């Protein structure tokens, strides 16, 4: 694993990550799926460097009612839900609260689907190598949900890729993904932002712009789409 202490920004991290994923370059059956929003600039750099199709996979963290940044699980397209061990019950969270948070985040997934995709069809994942990219992984709940969504669409191979993640999270993901590619696994991990010099919030507009550029540049690749 590369000795990378901090990344300049998401674009630079994506270019470095692309080098580690070089074996997948130019493979027509490989697709890069970004986890919006922060994962999109990283995945854009990966897809453009490796000449791969870029798309998005919408999953949302389920946060504590009184501390939203603390993940108790995640939910993904199609209603896939992953909960941390002990939830409900953990830290006093009730089943009703979990269900309410889930419903709210599913609505946000629907909103972002309309905003980011417009009328564009979902990519076909069946029989393909799916490379799921985020700007970093903390608890792993969101990425675990993403892996389950890809499996549910019959992906042939699921690769998890991120610039940085804690060792215990990587170990958990290695149990469910076919391959995990990560540039840095610092033992003293507090937050993804800790490992970037610049970690501004990625806007909806930036996501839309990067997807539009990727989809235009890949028009001659004639990606397989669902009818």
Q: Do residues 90 and 64 make contact, with C-beta atoms less than 8 angstroms apart?
A: no
Closest Cα to residue 37, out of 13, 14, 54, 57?
A: 57
For residue 125, the model assigns a pLDDT of 94
> What is the pLDDT tens value at each position of the chain, 227 positions in all?
445 579 999 999 999 999 999 999 999 999 999 999 999 999 999 999 999 999 999 998 898 888 887 888 888 877 788 888 899 988 889 999 999 999 999 999 999 999 998 888 888 999 999 999 999 999 898 899 999 899 988 999 999 999 999 999 999 999 999 999 999 999 989 999 999 999 999 999 999 999 999 999 875 554 444 43
For residue 154, the model assigns a pLDDT of 92
For residue 219, the model assigns a pLDDT of 59
pTM: 0.87
Q: Which fold has domain 10-184?
A: Rossmann fold (3.40.50)
Query: Tokens standing for 22?
Result: 């070089």
Which helix (H) or strand (E) is 68 found in, with range?
strand 67-76
For residue 4, the model assigns a pLDDT of 53
What is the rounded CA–CA span in Å between residue 161 and residue 21? 8
For residue 133, the model assigns a pLDDT of 98
For residue 222, the model assigns a pLDDT of 47
């Amino acid at each position: 694993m590369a000795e990378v202490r901090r990344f300049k920004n998401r674009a630079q991290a994506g270019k470095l990550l692309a080098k580690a994923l070089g074996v997948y370059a130019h493979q027509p059956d490989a697709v890069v799926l970004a986890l919006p929003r922060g994962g999109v600039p990283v995945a854009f750099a990966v897809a453009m460097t490796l000449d791969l199709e870029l798309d998005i996979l919408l999953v949302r963290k389920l946060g504590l009612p009184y501390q939203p940044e603390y993940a108790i699980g995640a939910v993904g397209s199609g209603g896939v839900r992953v909960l941390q061990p002990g939830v409900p019950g953990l830290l006093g969270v009730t089943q009703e609260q979990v269900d309410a948070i889930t419903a709210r985040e599913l609505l946000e997934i629907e909103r972002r689907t309309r905003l980011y995709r417009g009328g564009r069809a979902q990519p076909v994942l069946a029989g393909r190598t799916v490379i799921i990219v985020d700007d970093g992984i903390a608890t792993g709940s969101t990425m675990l949900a993403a892996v389950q969504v890809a499996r549910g669409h019959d992906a042939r191979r699921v690769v998890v890729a991120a610039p940085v993640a804690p060792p215990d999270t990587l170990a958990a993901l290695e149990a469910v993904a076919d391959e995990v590619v990560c540039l840095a696994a610092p033992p003293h991990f507090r937050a993804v932002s800790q490992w970037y010099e610049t970690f501004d919030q990625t806007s909806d507009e930036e996501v839309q712009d990067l997807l539009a550029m990727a989809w235009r540049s890949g028009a001659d690749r004639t990606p397989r789409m669902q009818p």
